[in-house]
Structure 1
Amino acid sequence: MSTYHLNETYDSYRSVDLEARAAAASPYQLVLVLFDGLLDELARARGHIQAKRYEHKGRSLEKCLNILNGLSSALDYDNGGELVHELARLYDYCIYRLSDVSVTLSLEGLDEVEKLLGTLREGWDAVNAKRG
């Protein structure tokens, strides 16, 4: 079995797993599922950059950008106050950095985005834990 076929099979499994987790999730848990998928895809993009699989890198980063755009568009600007505006700016910054990474192949840029999003994910996890 080729590496390509194994990757394709794994991607199919991940897609089904993600759909099942999303269907059973509360709104807070759904954000965590999205963050987990985003962080996982960032790790895959890193592997693609390191292995010089640039077409795969492009697809991974496109998935990341789509998730970030989805998270940003789901923000409640009317009722969220300053925190929502700060989150929107942070998502926009991550989108900007990932767009730059796509061109420059900068692992440092990828590190920065992973760190920022990892910190946000921890914050959402804490919010979810407090809500029970």
Structure 2
Amino acid sequence: MQNYQHQYQKVRVETASPGELTLILYEELYRRLNLSRHQFEGGKIEESKDNVYRSREILQELLVTLNMKYEIAHQLYQLYDYYLRKLNDFVVKKDLSALDEVIGFSKDMVATWKQALQIVKSGNDQ
């Protein structure tokens, strides 16, 4: 089952448009943050940290892919930077509210990005 999921994800990434790749990153960010919270609550501190570090890598990837010639990119840069600091707060201070804030952000970005992709698709159909 694990191999099937890995293969599915690999094909999904290889065939995705740039917008779909961004959605995949947001979905993985949300998944890892939730997993980290669950692990932390279960006393699996090292596993939780590993998922936070992977989440930070996703946010950093989102940062470096921004096209700074657009105003929205500057706003997203500030958001990503803010949430990277929140993840640091969680690791250093064990502040679950900081982690929950980043989880909320990632959940909202998944929903927003899905809606944006749907708008683009429906605009292309007409």
Partner Cα distance (2:5, 2:86) in 1: 26
The answer as to whether partners of 1:77 and 1:85 remain within 8 angstroms in 2 is yes
Do the aligned partners of residues 24 and 71 (structure 1) sit closer, same or farther apart at CA in structure 2, a change above 3 Å counting?
same
Match of 1:30 in 2: 21
For structure 2, the residue ranges without an aligned partner over 5 or more in a row are 122-126
Partner Cα distance (1:23, 1:14) in 2: 14
**More displaced 10-residue stretch of structure 1: 116-125 or 20-29:** 116-125
The answer as to whether partners of 1:45 and 1:60 remain within 8 angstroms in 2 is yes
Find 1:130's aligned residue among 98, 114, 119. Answer: 119
Runs of 4+ in 1 over 6 A off after TM superposition: none
Partner Cα distance (1:46, 1:64) in 2: 12
State the Cα deviation string for residues 25-78 of structure 1 (Å, max 9, x = none). 111111111111110000110011101111111110110000000011001012
Matched residue count: 121
Find 1:71's aligned residue among 54, 62, 71. Answer: 62
Q: What's the TM-score once normalised by structure 1's chain length?
A: 0.83
- Alpha-carbon distance, 1:14 to partner: 5.0
Correspondence 1:115 to 2:104: yes
Partner Cα distance (2:9, 2:117) in 1: 18
The answer as to whether partners of 1:18 and 1:33 remain within 8 angstroms in 2 is no
RMSD (CA atoms): 1.7
Do the aligned partners of residues 54 and 17 (structure 1) sit closer, same or farther apart at CA in structure 2, a change above 3 Å counting?
farther
Alignment of 1:1-132 (within 5 A): 10=2, 15-78=6-69, 80=70, 82-132=71-121
Q: What's the TM-score once normalised by structure 2's chain length?
A: 0.87
Q: Sequence identity, in percent?
A: 26
